[in-house]
Structure 1
Amino acid sequence: MPFQTIEAEKLSAAVVRQIEGLILQGILRPGERLPSERELSERLGVSRPSLRDAVAELQEAGLLVTRAGAGIFVADVLGSAFSPALIRLFASHSEAVTDYLSFRRDLEGLAADRAARLASDTDLAVIQSIFTRMEAAHPKRNPADEAGLDAEFHMAIIEASHNVVMLHMMRAMFELLREGVFYNRSIMFRQRSTRDTLLEQHRAINAALQARDSEGARAAVQGHMDFVQLVLAEQEKAERHEAIAQLRLRHETERP
């Protein structure tokens, strides 16, 4: 007969599965500190020895790291998405920016389509909350808060699409953007007119998502990314023209 004796699962195995699931779903993020051993064992309802066994197994799997005197952290699992050599290539070749934006246009358009169809009401409430904070940050002279919320808004859409492969891939891409590998995000929010346009584009994306209009959400995201690409191209052109103008000025002032 094809039956086998059912064995009770070790508590440490159940802890491992729960923490693995939280990391897979993107709820526990790379670099995030876990609660203390005492607090975590109480929350999970397991003994400290069982928790230590689970942590050791997750460390061996490369999902958790222990820092002396600091605690237990989720490993930087995104760091392995691109090699340092490839990141340097991205940073040193301008065509990588165009490819990056095209990649985001396609993937985020798909994510918005999925989110409009598959997101829970709670997912949509999170997106609405972030957009409300964007509106509140918009009048500020310093665009840093609004620029930061822009990234949160886009990641919330990807999270609401409920595809864990897309989630982790796009988190890696946004981490490179945060580090300035592709372009300086603050450039997008430098001009007031550009900031106004960006806010309206995010408003359109949010409205389509809240209405569960999948086609409208995809189109709004793609239109937004097309605008971002246009602004960056115009900024690059303006910088080239300024460099030439500086050379002309220097030459003119050095003439006898």
Structure 2
Amino acid sequence: MPFQRIEAERLSQSVVKQIEQLILRGILRPGERLPSERELSERLGVSRPSLREAVAELQSRGLLATRAGAGIYVADVLGSAFSPALIQLFAAHEEAVFDYIAFRRDLESIAAERAAVHGSDTDLKVIDAILGKMEVAHRKRNPADEAELDAEFHLAIIEASHNVILLHMMRSTFDLLREGVFFNRQQMFKNRTTRDLLLDHHRAINEGIQARDAAAAKAAVVEHLDYVEEELTLLNKAAKNEDIARLRYAHETER
């Protein structure tokens, strides 16, 4: 008969599974510090030896990492998504920027569609709250804060889609965006007219999701990223024109 004896699961394995799920679902993020051993054992209701055994297993599998004198952290599991050589290649070639926007347009439009359908009421509150912060930053004319909140807004939508593969894939690419590998996001927020339009786009995306109108949410994301692509094309053209103008000016002053 195909039956096997059921054995009680060790407490350490229960701890391993819980931490695995928190990392998988994006609740515990790369680089995030875990509570102290005493606090974590109390929260989980397990002994310190059981906790240490679980942590040791997760460390051996590369999910947790120890920093000397600083505690236990979630490992930078997203760092393996792109090699340093590939990151340098992205930064050196303009076509990577537009391929990246196309990639985002395809996947984020699907994420917005899913968020409108599968997002919980709390998911939608988070998205709406971030939009509120964007509006405050907009009034304060703070391009750096507005650009950072822009990334948080899109990631909140991806989280609300409840697809863990999509979540980790997009988080890794947003980390590169924050580092300026693809383009400097703050450039787009320096122009008042552009900033107004970008905020309107985010309002439209939010309205579609809050209304649970999947088609409207998806269309709003596509419109937004089409506009980003157009603006970056113009910025790149203007930068090239300025380079040529400086060469002319330098030549004229030398004559």
**Structure 1 residue 5 displacement after superposition:** 1.7
Residue type of the alignment partner of 1:214: A
**Percent sequence identity over matched residues?**
71
**Structure 1 residue 143 displacement after superposition:** 1.1
Distance 1:83 1:242 in 2: 33
SS of 1:65's equivalent? Answer: strand
Residue type of the alignment partner of 2:102: S
Report the number of matched residues.
Answer: 255
Gaps of 5+ in 1: none
Q: Give the ranges of 4+ consecutive aligned residues of structure 1 lying more than 4 Å apart after TM superposition.
A: none
Gaps of 5+ in 2: none
Distance 2:167 2:228 in 1: 21
Instruction: Indicate the residue corresponding to 1:152 in structure 2.
Output: 152
Distance 1:65 1:36 in 2: 14
Distance 2:124 2:54 in 1: 34
Instruction: Indicate the residue corresponding to 1:57 in structure 2.
Output: 57
The normalised TM-score by structure 1 is: 0.98
**Structure 1 residue 2 displacement after superposition:** 2.4
The normalised TM-score by structure 2 is: 0.99
1:3-49 CA-partner distances (Å, limit 9, x unpaired): 22211110000000000000000000000000000000000000000
Distance 2:137 2:168 in 1: 28
User: Which segment drifts farther, 201-210 or 242-251?
Assistant: 242-251
Instruction: Indicate the residue corresponding to 2:80 in structure 1.
Output: 80
Distance 2:141 2:215 in 1: 34
1:123-147 CA-partner distances (Å, limit 9, x unpaired): 0010001001111111113311111
Instruction: Indicate the residue corresponding to 2:194 in structure 1.
Output: 194
**Structure 1 residue 84 displacement after superposition:** 1.1
Residue type of the alignment partner of 1:144: A
- CA RMSD, 1 decimal: 0.7
Q: What are the residue-to-residue correspondences of 1:164-243 with 2, within 5 Å? A: 164-243=164-243
Instruction: Indicate the residue corresponding to 2:245 in structure 1.
Output: 245
Distance 1:83 1:143 in 2: 30
Distance 2:114 2:188 in 1: 27
1:171-206 CA-partner distances (Å, limit 9, x unpaired): 000011011110011011010110000000000000
